[in-house]
Structures are given as C-alpha cells and as structure tokens.
Amino acid sequence: MQATSVVFNTKPVLAPIHVKSLYSDPYSSSLVASQSNWVNRKKSIKLRSRRQSQNRSYLIQHKLQNVQGRCLHQNVEQLNRANILNRRQPVSCFLYPQTKQILVKGPKNGVFLDKSSFHLSKQPRANVKKLEVPRATVGPDEPHAAGTAWPDGVLEKQGFDMLDPEVERAEFEQFLRSGLPCHPKLHRGQLKNGLRYLILPNKVPPNRFEAHMEVHVGSIDEEDDEQGIAHMIEHVAFLGSKKREKLLGTGARSNAYTDFHHTVFHIHSPTSTKGSEGDCLPVVLDALNEIAFHPKFLSSRVEKERRAILSELQMMNTIEYRVDCQLLQHLHSENKLSKRFPIGLEEQIKKWDADKIRKFHERWYFPGNATLYIVGDIDNISQTIYHIEDVFGQTEMDNESNSAPNPSAFGAMASFLVPKLTVGLSTNSTHDRSSVSLDQSKALRKERHAVRPPVQHNWSLPGHSDDAKTPQIFQHELLQNFSINMFCKIPVKKVRTYGDLRNVLMKRIFLSALHFRINTRYKSSNPPFTSVELDHSDSGREGCTVTTLTVAAEPKNWQNAIKVAVQEVRRLKEFGVTKGELARYTDALLKDSEQLAAMIDNVSSVDNLDFVMESDALGHTVMDQSQGHESLLAVAGTITLEEVNATGAEVLEYISDFGKPSAPLPAAIVACVPTKVHVEGGGGEDEFRISPEEITSAIKSGLKEPIEPEPELEVPTELITSEQLEELRCKRCPSFLPVETDSNITKSYDDETGIVQRRLSNGIPINYKITKDEANCGVMRLIVGGGRAAESSHEKGSVIVGVRTLSEGGRVGNFSREQVELFCVNHLINCSLESTEEFICMEFRFTLRDNAMRAAFQLLHMVLEHSVWLDDAFDRAKQLYMSYYRSIPKSLERSTAHKLMLAMLNGDERFVEPTPHSLQNLNLESVRAAVMDQFVSDNMEVSMVGDFSEEDIESCILDYLGTVRPTKGFEKAQQYSPILFSAAPFSLQHQQVYLKDTDERACAYIAGPAPNRWGFTFEGSDLFESVVNPSANDLNFFPDELEQSNTNLQGRIRNHPLFFAIAMGLLAEIINSRLFTTVRDSLGLTYDVSFELNLFDRLKLGWYVISVTSTPGKVHKAVDACKNVIRGLHSNRVAPRELDRARRTLLMRHEAEIKSNAYWLGLLSHLQSPSVPRKDISCIKDLTLLYENATIEDVYVAYEQLKIDENSLYSCIGVAGAQAGEDVSASLEVEEIDDGLQGIVPMGRGSSTVTRPTT
C-alpha cells in the first residue's frame, strides 16, 4: 500500500540529489494540462516519499512551492505512476488553478516551471583563532533562536594565514570530525519491553498530532512460501481493529503501508474532540497497540482482505509497475530485494489461512521490534510518556528478556538515541537483556535483524568486482518510448559530522551545475532525448545509496540520446564546475537554508515526522532547521573549487570512465523499450530491435565525442532598469481606481480576513493578503479568463500548445532563456505557467529577501509585455503532444477514460488532448494569437499572499502591473462554443475498451452531469432561481451575530453563493464513504473506488466521475454496485453520523491548510473576476459556518442535481489481457482521444517497493 507523498522537512544537505532535464520533460509538473479535467488530474500509483517512496527522481530543483519541505531533506516522489485516474482529489469549495507539486509529472513548462536553482555570492569570511563547533542557541524563551552569523570557531580555508599550517590543518580536520548537533526538542526513550519511542512537539497544525507505529518487518523477512504475507497482515490488522473504527467521526484519519522492511500504521488525530473532556492521545495509542500487537485474525476478515489484495495486485500491475520490478530485479540481482516485492504473489495469497498469517505475526510483531513516533501539538512530554507506558508497557512483558533490542538491532538508528529520557531501561540493562542468544530468540519465535534491510549488496566500487554486467533489455508491447537506466550502488554514508555534511554540500553544488546545463544546452527543434535525469540519493528502504542516469527518448533517437547524455556527464567530470557556478549554487543553497530556518515554526507535523523517520533509517543525525542552517554555514566557507570538482567527479565515474579498468562497474544497465514503433508518414508500426552490444557501443560512442569547457554566462541582476521603469511610469501613469463602479473607495480592506482589494487604472483587479504564517515568503498568481474553452473548432489545441510553446521558449525581451533561468536562480523565484479548460494561470513563489519579490514582478511584467515566441519552441511543443496522443493505446486507464469523455461530451476535443490532425493544422501565429488574445488587462486578475509590507507590495503593484499596457478584450476572451452533454444512444453511453496485454487487469469509469460550483447547469438553469426555495422547516439559521454582520447570508444557508459548493463537497465525502464500505469492504469487488466532482467556476456545467479498479471477472458487477450506491441515497437516507463525519473531514482539511500561502491564494482567486460574479468575500468568511450549519436536507438538494438516471449516466469498462476482445489501438485511428499528459512511461523503481494505502 502506499499513500500520497509529501515534501519533507530536513536539512538541505541531506536532500537526495536529483538532476533532470526540464527540456521536453514529459513527466514533470503537468502545468500545461487542462487541470480541471478529471482525466488529467487523476494521479497514478503514488509512492511514499523517502520513507514511503523508492525511486530515484528526487529533485534538486529548489522548490519555493513548498518551502518548509525543502528545508533539510527535499524528499520527493519522482513521478506519478500508471493510472492517470487513480488519484482521489478532494472536492474543494474553491477549485482554482493549482500549481502542481513536484511529485506530479507531466510536460514541464520550460523556463517557467520550478526553475529556481542555487545561486551564491561570496560569503563574508571571518578569521578566527579558536575552533568551536557551531550549535543552535537554545533558551527557555526562544527554543529555536539561532544566529545566522558565522560561528566564531569556524576555520575557513581562505583564512589560514593566521596560524601555523600544520596547526590549522589539524584544527580543521578536528572540526570536520566534530559531530553535528542533535535536534534539541526531540525526545527519545525505550520501554522495558523494548519498544522505542520518539516524541517531537510541533505546533503545526494546531491541536493535532501524528502517531506512527513502525514495525520493523516487511517483505524482505518473508520466506519463499510467505511472499506478500506482511502486506496481508497489514490489511487484516488495520481494517480488523475495532478500536480504530471508534476513531471514525472524531476528525482522525488513519492508514497503513508495507515496504521491504517496514510496516507502518499511522493515525492523524485531533488532540481532543468537541464535547469530550479527555485527551485523544491514549485512545489513539490504544488503537495502535491493538493494530500492531493484538490483532484478531478472524477468518471473515482474512477472506475479505484476501479479495481486496488480489484486486490491489491487479490494479498495481500496470506497465509502469512492471518496469519498476524489472529495474529492481537487475539492480539488486544478488539479494532478496530483487524478488520480494511487498504486494506478494497471487498464487500464495490465495492459499494462506488465518493460522499461517498469525504465526508470521507472532514471529515479528512485538514491541522490541517496533518504534513509535509521536509528532504534534504536545506540550506535556512527561504525560505523553506516561500514556505510552500505560498503553504499551504490559505488551509482551512475558518475553521481556528477549524483546529488548541490542544497540545495533536496528542498524543506523540505534547509535544516536539522544537525548534519552530517564525512563525505561538504562544502558546497562539494555545491554544485558540484548545478550540473549539467537537460539533462545528463535525458541520464542521472536526475530529481528541487526541490519535493516538484512541483505548483502555488490557495491559499485573500484576493485570491488571484475564482473561487468551485460545491459539488460525489457521489451513490452505496452511501452511507447525508449528509456535506459545506468545504476551505481554504494554504501550509505551517514551524515553525522561536519565533514559528512561538507561532502554532501559539494556533491549538491556539482550536480546542480549538471542540472542547469542539461536544461539549457539543447534547444534544437528535434533534440535526441525527451528527458535526461541524474539522481543521487540514499534509500533506507534498500539499504544503499544509488546514483541513476536515466535517459528517455523517442525510439528512433535512442543512440544519439545516450551519446549526448554521456557526453554531458563526461564534460562536467572532466572540466568541473566553473567559479561562477560554484558561487551561484552555493549561495542558492545558503539562501534556501536560511529561508527554511526562518520557517522553523511553520513546518507541519507530518513533514517533521517523515524527516525523523527517514533520518533514523539512514543513520543521519537529526537536526532542526536552524541547526541545519548553522551547520551548512559552518562548512560552506571551507569548500574550494578543486574539492567540489573532485568530490562530484567520483559520483560520475561509473559513467564518464565506463569501460576503463579503474572505473567502478555499474550495478546494472537496464533498457526498457517497445516491441513496435510508429512509422512516420506512412503510418503503421515496425518491429523495434535493439541488442546489449548496441547499447554498450552507444555509451562508448558518447565517451569519444569531443567536449569543451563550459563558458561563463552573464546573469542579469534585473530585467527592468530603474531608467526603464521611470519611463514606464511617465508613459502609463499608474494609479488605483475605485474598486466598485458605484463607489469612490480605491482600497477595500476586510478586517476579519485581512484581504485587500484594489483595481489599477489599466483595469487589472488586485487582491492581496499580508500574513506571517510563512516567514519571508510570498506567492503571486495571475489568472486570465478563457483557457481551452476558447479554442475555436478550426484551431483545436491552440491554447494548450501555445502555453507550452511560451514555456518552452523561456525568453522575454532581449534576455535569453538561460539568462531568465539564472535570474530566477539568483532570486530563488519559482514560476509556473499552465492552461486549464477555463483559465490560463501563471504563478510565482519567491522569498522576501534580496529584492526577490520585485524580481518576480519584473518577470511577470516582461511576460505580459515582451514575451518572445520561437519556432523551435513551437515545434517541440507540438511534437510532445503528438507523442502523448500516440501513447494512449498503451494505457488501459487512459484509453478507457478518453472513450468515456468523448462519449459524454459529444467528442469535444477541448477536454482531451489534441489529435495529430489538429496539431498539424496549427502554426506559431495561430497559437500565439490564441494565448495572447486572452492576455488583455480587463481579462486578468492578480492575487498575492505573503509576509510583505503594505508599502512594498503596493509599490510593486503600481510599478510593474500598473505599467502594463491597458488593453480590452474581455468579451472576446469569454466567448466559447457551447459545451454539451451527448444525447447519445445506449450503445455509446455504455462502452467497453479492450487492450491486449500479457497480464489481466480491468478498470471502469462512470460519469454524469452536475452543476458548476455556483449553481449553473449545462441546461442553462440557475439553481438559485429554480431550486432554492426553502421553507422554514428545512432551513438552518445562523447565530444572531452573524445575521447582524454584512455577510449577505441573510440568515439562510441556501441563499449563500457558496451553497452548492459546500453541499456538493459534503455529498462527495458521503458517497466516497459508502462506495468503500459497500463495493470494496462488503462485496469485495474492488480494491480502489472513488467518487470525484469536477465543478467549474466560469463554465456553466460540471460532472461527477466514479473510478473503480477490478478484475475482468468482477468489473461488471463492480460497476453495477457503484451505480446502486450512487442511486441508493433515496432508499438509504444519509444518517446524521455520515454528515458529521463528512463535515469533520472537510473542516479538518480547511484547518490544516489555512496557514498556507498557497491555500489563501486559492481563496483569493476570482474575488474580482467578472467571469465568476458570484464569488465575493463572504465565500471566504463564511466557509466554516457554512460547513457547520449544513443539514442533511441541504445535501439532498445537491444530490438532486446529479444526473444519475440511465439516460444521463455514461460508463466505460476497460479490460486488458491476452484474450481481450479487441485491440484498443484499432479504434484510435478514427477516434480523437485523451492522453492525460503521460505519454512517456515514467521509469523508476518505485511502485514495486511499497504497497498502496490500506484505505
């Protein structure tokens, strides 16, 4: 099982190093995707980031997008996996264009997407006489206080002239051997039964905490006849717990997952519940105790979970999952990691009885083999320890002498359990108890391993092995493109000293340079590769550090793609980074680290917890953000260009010196290739042939290509000079106009929310909010009305291709793409550009230092006024969408989804990817006009949220937005052809898709019309006029104080403009709960089923989609069961407890996000948009009250607007297998289909190493 990945809070130097080409990258953020489209928004099998994820694509791109997550451990998923429709997206009352997270991969928007890399200016140097290990300054009143000045004791290489060379060298080496400081707030302890616990107080989000029970057992511990049994126990223990069920409805949420050597049960809970005087912590711990150590292996639950797991196995078995398995099998061919995937083997899963499962549990699941992590809003540490002892203290006490682990029982984690509280065992008693012999341990059926995972690796070290592995080839008919992975595997280097930290910093600087070079060097219309990625990261799950070079390309270009990638790696290894690159990237690392240190009190509990868990697994010292920044400062000034290049070169030797006797041997070389390739011009497909010898030859050819040193690049300090700005002011005379046409007020300020509304003299409306929730951070979003809906019938795809073209080019004014990118690097600006069905959106994230906010405004001004459209960028964009289209027949989910979308929306191509025919009809001028016709000042809205001052933000607004040329075109931009649901015959409403595959799988989608967020329907009705006519019996009245406020509620929830968004959101939660309970849990027809609403803002329609995965033999029954659930709300009325649970869930999400700048940015969106007239300030102010006062009758008002009768409902069932009824590819010659922006199969080794979430 696996769950959504998060960006983790750890020190920047411990971040996995991931370098990738943004150039024509098909799986980075899908910001050019039609984001509201449910087909494109659905994620695939997502991986747990770091402790939960496993593949190598951890980005070194420094995302201001989630600032607290980048702090000390940029742990990010590489990419979304197979199923484009597999992500549950919670229904929000404000569906606004959201910046995709870095873990989401789709086409990367060139220079405007997450391009912020590291920049560095020279740091002040301090000559010192005495060495002193820098540590955070901690006091009772300022627990996080830490100075940002250079520590007095730090010796710098450039300042050694004051000391004798031998003395200074000795002191410097002593400093490097000094241990890093430990997190001052992290409390560790151990019970007498061996259970270890870690407690970390954290105030974000307030009044909530995370409790994770990590049992140190996973698939690697299974015998040959137990493959998948740890995963089975996870299911049975978790879903069979009655105490966990009692938490439902309290606002708590829980889940579980299994990987190679961990099983984790986790609960996110409020510290207390409304109406309850007690603390929730003991109840949560009691539930975890039952789940982990006292499960009931009832035969009925075992059978129920057996069905669910078999369904999960088929659902996971996408081509992407099979690719992951192939990579792992070859990377770890020498040990059990290559053949112990957590999901297990179908034939074995079918056989186990409850007794077999119970015996495995007795062998592994005991307190001495587990660690409890508690992170959250906890003030009383001693009381928390009391609860831990009270709940877990008596578990397994009969086997106490055997249960307590020795100091090395958990490998890296055991040696740095500090600070340790005076509870549990002392050091001596722990040592005594852990001297029990292995024979005694086995007699008691309690097992544990001294090293996790318990496997032996063949390291890629010089002289370690003389047996070079032959390149392996995985060829499959469902693969569309070529990819190759070159792996290097070395032991994990624990980061515990300043010297360790220094080495990681030098590697990051070195590989940051490679990242930028690959991004910018190749700008021809037909580059040989579609993506090049170099990842260097530790894996606690696999017990090694892996460097991976991944090259993806069109099959016809595979040899040149390998040559270019190898050539670029060799260039960096041979010539190293330049002085400018060293300065730039070091400074960017320090800026990033300083920013995250400032955010120390804004990091979420789950981010902190994930960091601690992963650091423990790897053996790294756990520091807080301030300590991490201080430590980074301590070592940054000591590095030299020569050392950086020497350290970085070691990482690349297995590629740059490939074939040389002295070079480390690659751990594996694996190519994943299609069986057939598209023939240009004539159509049809040819066999694709490739051999290991040809792969080796291509690698060696790249080593022979001529290389030259990297030239230094001039980086602009500003895009608009002060002279140019003054000229613009004189020419445009920017000023603020009245916000409302019937008022003279030029500045509207709301006391309750702190929201300011302005309107510029050129017609651009402005919303902003000043907040300290994210220190020294700001976000800005430009929204332009129109989007893909404005595409004309003879220029289909013009907007989406145009936006991609603008991003691919990356030029503004006279500045090149490289200069613009480095301008963003220097100012730590992250910029993204995307198109949806309704809007074009440009978003900026920036720090509030070094004039970064002013720099972001300059870039926005230049894009609006001086964007450059390039032919080669247009060619690349068009070619990418061509490739996406052709990849659709390879995906069961996308093939099924596109057929449903086309049937439901009458073949409207604005909601799917453009076809090759449509793409051929486009030209540069047509796509430029399609985009720029929407970029008119009276069709824009700009919103900002951040820790800026009123003076600074309004100065930037006037200088850079007020000087934008006033243009008119709102009416034209808002025009679009009607969007109609098909009045299709039954045969088109209920369709099937068949896909030839070696393995069987099935999925289905059920969809139908719904209103939009503001109560408008595709039939032209305004539901506030035709439906909302409540009587006194079914109204909820708000408190008197609310009636007296100027909220426009008038005391009646159903008259509120946000009524349908609120009611639809609650309805979606209730339906999702019933689908799981009925289709998954009771009937056992699926592992994964979800209900999702797509409610537009500007377009007067919406729709719902039910997504379900199953087996070919059960999928039809699953579809019928889903229909029965959604239609059964009349006969089986919604109960008050269902509404309460849905209400708590949505309020919990709201409360968790309310401290986020990005969330507020979404709330501000459309406040002054003329195309969304019903949204006003009350939609933000009354959100909580609307949820709290919604009734069951309100939910039914919303339910009545869903079209669920047989004439309005559309479904499509997809079946894959060797005996599938017909080949879906045959139908694609005549149908226009959707791609979901995942045309090139993401290659990693992720989804095979961890299971999906249990629920």
Is 234 considered catalytic here? yes
DSSP conformation class of 187: E
Nearest to 1070 by CA among 1202, 905, 948, 931: 1202
Q: How far apart are CA 858 and CA 719, in angstroms?
A: 6
- Pair 14, 495: CB distance under 8 Å: yes
Nearest to 235 by CA among 1090, 1075, 1121, 1081: 1081
Which residue of the set 234, 312, 795, 808 is catalytic? 234
CA distances (Å), origin 34, targets 851, 888, 1241 = 33, 16, 20
- Pair 79, 57: CB distance under 8 Å: yes
Q: How far apart are CA 446 and CA 402, in angstroms?
A: 8
What one-character-per-residue DSSP string does 1045-1111 give?
A: SS-S-TT-GGGSTTHHHHHHHHHHHHHHHHHIIIIIIIS---S-EEEEEEE-SSSS-EEEEEEEEE-
- With residues binned 3-state (H G I as helix, E B as strand, rest as coil), the percentages for the chain, rounded to 5, are 40, 15, 45
Q: How far apart are CA 1122 and CA 1005, in angstroms?
A: 10
Which residue of the set 290, 305, 312, 913 is catalytic? 305
Can you read off the two tokens belonging to residue 917? 């025919």
- Pair 17, 508: CB distance under 8 Å: yes
Q: How far apart are CA 379 and CA 138, in angstroms?
A: 17
Residue 124: CB atoms within 10 Å: 7
Residue 696: CB atoms within 10 Å: 16
Tell me if residue 995 falls in helix, strand or coil: strand
- Pair 552, 534: CB distance under 8 Å: no
- Pair 1237, 80: CB distance under 8 Å: no
Strands 668-674, 472-476: pairing is parallel
Residue 438 burial (10 A CB sphere; 0-12, 13-18, 19+): exposed
CA distances (Å), origin 1232, targets 796, 798, 886, 899 = 11, 16, 11, 9
DSSP conformation class of 409: T
Within its chain, how far is the Cα of 1207 from the centroid?
A: 38
Within its chain, how far is the Cα of 1040 from the centroid?
A: 43
Q: In residues, how long is the chain?
A: 1255
Nearest to 53 by CA among 252, 233, 264, 196: 264
Residue indicated by tokens 């032991």: 491
DSSP conformation class of 114: S
634 CB-side CA count, 13 A: 32
Residue 772: CB atoms within 10 Å: 11
What one-character-per-residue DSSP string does 899-955 give?
A: HHHHHHTTT-GGGSPPPHHHHHT--HHHHHHHHHTT--GGGEEEEEEES--HHHHHH
CA distances (Å), origin 1128, targets 673, 827, 992, 1124, 1140 = 47, 55, 25, 6, 19
Tell me if residue 1165 falls in helix, strand or coil: coil
Catalytic residue list: 234, 305
